[in-house]
A and B are shown apart, each in its own frame.
Chain A
Amino acid sequence: MTYENVYPFVWLAWLVGAACFILGLHFMNSPASARNGNRLSAAGMAVAVLATGVLLVAQGASALAWAIIVVGFLIGGAAGLVTARTVPMTAMPQLVSIFNAVGGGAAALVAIDDFITHGEAGGASVSTTLFVVLGVVIGSVTFSGSLIASGKLQGVISGKPILFPGSRILTVVLGLVALLGTLGLVFSATGTVKLDPMVADLVLLAIIGSALVFGVTMVLPIGGADMPVVISLLNAFTGTAAAMAGFVIDNPVLIIAGALVGASGGILTKLMADAMNRSILNIMVGGFGGGDHAAAGAGGGEGGTVRQIGADDAAIQLAYAERVIIVPGYGLAVAQAQHACRELGELLEERGVDVKYAIHPVAGRMPGHMNVLLAEANVPYPLLKEMDEINPEFDRADVVLVVGANDVTNPAARRPGNPVSGMPILDVDHARSIVVIKRGAGRGYAGIDNELYTNPKTGMLYADAKDGLAQLTAAVKAL
């Protein structure tokens, strides 16, 4: 079994792996087939990894190399397995961020390693050097940026935008260091400049350092509410970094897989930014999107009068309605109220009420997060409606129950001249009657009053999402 004989078959196995990734993603187009799609993708991964193992056997990898591979795999795999099994669904955004970090970090390490090896072997070619540097920069930015994002989501780091004096200048300096370093290495590879391998290593180290710091300064100023965009963007970065690593070691499956993830992250970034009506650049520059508690205490000075409603009155409206639409927002997830929400929904359905759930694209802290939380609470997915699908139905809804959602229901978005202008919203105000469960009179992330609350059709039930839903459930049962 020589290397030359084995290589074509290993290449074909990589191709099979790549095809499985594409088909697996294709099967994600419906919740019914998605699970099998994920399994197909996992099978493709197993084929690709095993084929690589066969190639290394044929190559005659040393015992030490095998020890590193096997022990590393067992440690990493066990850590991944335990985390994946135990993580609560509300913490998915943090976990995805961590996976972005390790994926980007691994890609950067592959590139760094290749650079050092080539340096010893008399210098790399221009193209390899270019892709090495790209892999190192993108991978390192993703690594540190994702760790910061994860810390913000977990609440270890404040969700508020963190700005410090000179941060813009620092970012420019870091960018310059990376750019000059890259130029130095590329010119060294062409032979224009003679760089001692030692110096070249130091230049690479400077590039790594500035990329790592850049990742931190990039994510720190971004507010908690913009996290869905940031996670998507870092996901795209990780994919790109993996593809760059693929160029460096000349491996097709890395290139294809990285390209797929890059495309996926890119699409989600665009969708999320559109759903918040903000450009990606605007989000990266930061300063908006306060975070969990930004709204607290900002309650004063609401325009118009708010009508409060008791749980009993609201329960009567819900119980005798024909069509009810529930609008869950992040406040529902924070209060861990998804189960209470499902309980009320089921109770109403048993009474013959038609219940649907309207999910705004940015409900939650990552794309599609709210759907997962409700699925976990055992809400059947056909009841979960996307914004475009549900918006025409608000006109026919008897009661809309808004739980922990704010800005995404603000009719002010239809008018120009305010922070939410142009943001796609759920047309909650089109319903015959509206009940809003809300903890207090605070504002949403955008920091403005929600005109929905002062609408004469709206009744405000001031309560924590979980308590409010429990009160409603009890009141409906008592009818």
Chain B
Amino acid sequence: MTELTSLLYPITVFVLAVLVGFEVISKVPATLHTPLMSGANSIHGIVLVGGMFIAATADSPLLYLLSFVAIVFGAANVVGGYVVTDRMLQMFRKKPAPAKVGADGGSSTGQAQG
């Protein structure tokens, strides 16, 4: 009984978070679905935190190895995910960037935030 009780809070959080997710994400336009997915991808890189915890409690070679791999995976997921999402999103411009002649001007980034 007590064990079930201790589960109630996490399950509540999970269900509410799923509903918030549905609400927020259903408003994302189809134009941005690829950055959305890659951004969501970076968010599940949060398992990195889990990797840090298991590294801290590890006490055998096997556990050290498992936690190391988990951290490498999680870090690649987080860093790569956010960087590639940013790279994609900076390409979405309201107006076309100045033609290639203006290679000297960094002004194109200024226009990016339409």
Contact = CB atoms under 8 A, between A and B. Distances in A.
A255 B83 contact: no
B93 A260 contact: no
A69 interface: yes
Interface in A396-436: none
Interface stretch (A163-171, A244-252, A292-300): A244-252
A53 B21 CA distance: 27
A398 to B, nearest CB: 23
Interface string A427-469: 0000000000000000000000000000000000000000000
A116 B63 contact: yes
Interface size class for chain A? 35 or more
Given A29-B27, A31-B92, A95 B17 contact: no
18 contacts: A31-B32, A31-B92, A48-B46, A52-B53, A68-B55, A73-B72, A76-B71, A79-B80, A102-B73, A106-B70, A110-B51, A248-B50, A255-B17, A257-B46, A260-B18, A260-B43, A264-B21, A366-B37
Nearest to B90: A35
B44 to A, nearest CB: 4
Contacts of A264: 21, 25, 36-37, 40
Contact of B92 (A42, A375, A386): A375
B46 A263 contact: no
Contact of B47 (A36, A127, A242): A242
Contact of A75 (B10, B31, B46, B72): B72
Interface of A: 17-18, 21-22, 24-26, 28-32, 34-39, 41-42, 45, 48-49, 52-53, 56, 59, 61-62, 64-65, 68-69, 71-81, 83-85, 87, 89, 92, 95-96, 99-100, 102-103, 105-107, 109-110, 112-114, 116-117, 125-127, 231-232, 235, 238-239, 241-243, 245-268, 271, 346, 359, 361, 364, 366-369, 371-372, 375-376, 378-382, 384, 386-387
Contact of A235 (B37, B53, B87, B93): B37
A89 B67 CA distance: 32
Given A125-B3, A367-B30, A371-B34, A69 B55 contact: yes
Nearest to A64: B64
A371 B78 contact: no
Interface of B: 3-4, 6-7, 10, 13-15, 17-22, 24-59, 62-64, 66-97, 112-114
B40 A254 contact: no
Contact of B37 (A30, A52, A56, A231): A231
B51 A106 contact: yes
Contact of A61 (B17, B39, B56, B93): B56
Contacts of B78: 45, 49, 77, 80
